[in-house]
Amino acid sequence: MRRLRNVKIVATLGPASSDRATIRALFEAGADVFRLNMSHGTHEGIAQLHRLIREIEHELRRPIGILADLQGPKLRVGTFADGKETLEEGAAFRLDLVDKPGDATRVRLPHPEIFEALEEGASLLVNDGQIRLKVTRCDAESADCEVMVGGVISDRKGVNVPDVVLNIPALTEKDRKDLEFVCALGVDWLGMSFVQRPEDVAEGQRLAAGRAAVIAKIEKPAAVAALDGILAEADGIMVARGDLGVEMPITSVPVIQRRLIATAQQAGKPVIVATQMMESMISAPVPTRAEVSDVANAIYDGADAVMLSAESAAGKYPVETVRTMNAVAETTESDPHFRVRMEALRPRARTRVADAIAAAAREVAETTDVKAICCFTHGGTTALLMARERPRVPILALTPSTRSARRMALVWGLHCSTTHEVERFKLAVVSAARAAREGGFASDADRIVVVAGIPFNTSGTTNILRVAPVDERAIYEGEPE
């Protein structure tokens, strides 16, 4: 079950992938983390998927990450008397709070917080940007607009407001209930949708209370502008290209994606690239050439993970899609230019002892005949620092914490394994040697680098590095305590 790649694959579960056999097949094909979409399904259904994943994890004896993706605030228009209307370019159209069906001149927008924030000249995007409105006049209860791009508008279509920061919480009442439910279940990551400011993420962290790590989904211009503050609060980010491509010029999405990946890597926090990565495989057994290039480019840019949404949740070929993505990743990472890119993306500054230890471990591994870097980590800090270095050799993340092992399943290059707690460094070296040998990373004739923190089982204490033999007899004969 050893992965022959560094980038991780996140697969969304849904109607096409909700039975035990398919979930196991997805994992065996290459999925490292499973996403549970809280916008769909019941708590009972989510609990069933969680149970199946954990049973498969137990059978295969390998940590599997679970990401629960919260829905976030959904802004939608009301209904129309005839179900839909056609808006012509240049026509006038009003959005208001009046609780009655709409027509060709107006419709209800039941979100007073939007009217409070709107200004003349602001844009409103309806139905994933297919209809574009420009505000010509607004007050606390309505907004008169000019139709800039027309089309068919129908009941309860979504609304995006890219030009203003809305005074709405990133967590709705539904999100709060869902958050508590999935944290009680034991998911590893929480995805927060439509984050606008660092305070949104801080609220999610407060409610999660350490029970799950928080991923901030970057899908609004305000979030892009506040990236540094959001990244400081979050445990990782997601490049949510769907809404991002609606709220910002679509031509800017590749540039923003690359910036988000680079910024997250410098911070040592995982970043997922999501949305339409292999969209055609919802209905076709092979992807387009453009989709393959899209996945490869995210990998070249240094993303920790690439994500499948409807492709694995509702498509005809969920297992084939994961298998194809896995093959694209393996091929991309075998390109010599991939290593050049990874070396160019390494941290520019290392100001702490832990940073220097990680950099030294990578340097030793790459300039000597060392087969793997073995990190002893409790909360994941040491392994995250090591992954940030993007070394050429495999990274084994060894931890006594099952929770940490599952979370680290999302992080670039980490081969995660649970181990017993150790009190002496020699025992840590022995455990690392056994893990490297049993995982097929090294033989008795090889050497490994062992990185750890003293005292053991304390987060954030990375301070020791040792080049060690894999042969246990040599460890006991030559290694100090």
217 is known as an active-site residue: yes
Residue 316 appears among annotated catalytic residues: no
Within 161-251, strands assigned E span 189-192, 213-218, 236-240
In the annotation, is 275 catalytic?
yes
Tokens 């056999």 locate to: 21
Q: How many of the other CB atoms lie within 10 Å of CB of 48?
A: 15
> Cis bond leading into 455, ω under 30°?
yes
Q: Are 7 and 299 in contact (CB under 8 A)?
A: yes
* E-strand stretches of 139-208: 142-149, 151-154, 159-160, 189-192
What is the spatial distance between Cα 69 and Cα 457, in angstroms, rounded to a whole number?
A: 30
Of 8, 197, 217, 447, catalytic:
217
* Whether the Cβ atoms of residue 265 and residue 232 lie closer than 8 Å to each other: no
Q: Is the dihedral of CA 340, 342, 348, 352 positive or negative?
A: negative
Residue 350 burial (C-beta neighbours within 10 Å; 0-12, 13-18, 19+): middle
Q: Taking a C-beta distance cutoff of 8 angstroms, is the pair 118, 97 a contact?
A: no
**Four-CA torsion 60, 65, 70, 71, nearest 10 degrees:** -60
Sheet holding 395-399, edge to edge: 414-418, 395-399, 370-376, 447-453, 462-469
Cα separation, 438 vs 99, in Å, equals: 66
Contact yes or no for 453/463 (Cβ under 8 A): yes
The active-site residue, picked from 24, 35, 62, 362, is 35
Residue 394 · residue 412 · CB < 8 Å: no
> How many Å apart are CA 11 and CA 54, to the nearest integer?
15
Active-site entry in 76, 134, 176, 350:
76
Task: Give the C-alpha separation, 5 to 8, whole Å.
Answer: 8
Active site residue 368: no
Instruction: Given the residues 12, 275, 377, 381, select the one marked as catalytic.
Output: 275
- Residues forming the active site: 35, 76, 217, 275
